Amino acid sequence: MQQANLSLANLDNPENLKILASVLKTNVAACGSIGAGFFSQLGRIYLDLLGVYKAVSQLISESVVKQGPVALRTPRVRQMRTVKKEVLRLIETYVNKADDLTEVTQKIIPGVLEAVLGDYQRNVEPARDAEVLSVMSTIVSKLGVSSTPFLRHRVHSFFC
152 Cβ contact partners less than 8 Å away, ≥ 6 residues apart: 145, 146
Domain ranges of the chain: 2-159
Give buried/exposed letters for 124-139 (b at 16+ CB in 10 A, else e): eeebbbebbeebbebb
Report pLDDT for 50: 94
pTM of the model as a whole: 0.86
Report pLDDT for 64: 93
User: What's the sign of the alpha-carbon dihedral 96, 97, 99, 103?
Assistant: negative
pLDDT tens for residues 102-119?
A: 889 889 998 998 888 888
C-alpha separations of 124 from 21, 60, 67, 74, 112 in Å: 23, 9, 12, 17, 19
How far is the C-alpha of 151 from the C-alpha of 72, rounded, in Å?
31
pLDDT tens for residues 11-39?
A: 888 899 999 999 999 999 999 999 999 99
Angle, CA of 123, 129 and 131, to the nearest 5°: 135
How far is the C-alpha of 97 from the C-alpha of 109, rounded, in Å?
14
CATH architecture of 2-159: Alpha Horseshoe (1.25)
Residue whose C-alpha is closest to residue 21's, from 70, 66, 81, 77 = 81
Query: Mean pLDDT of all residues in the chain?
Result: 86
DSSP code for 98: -
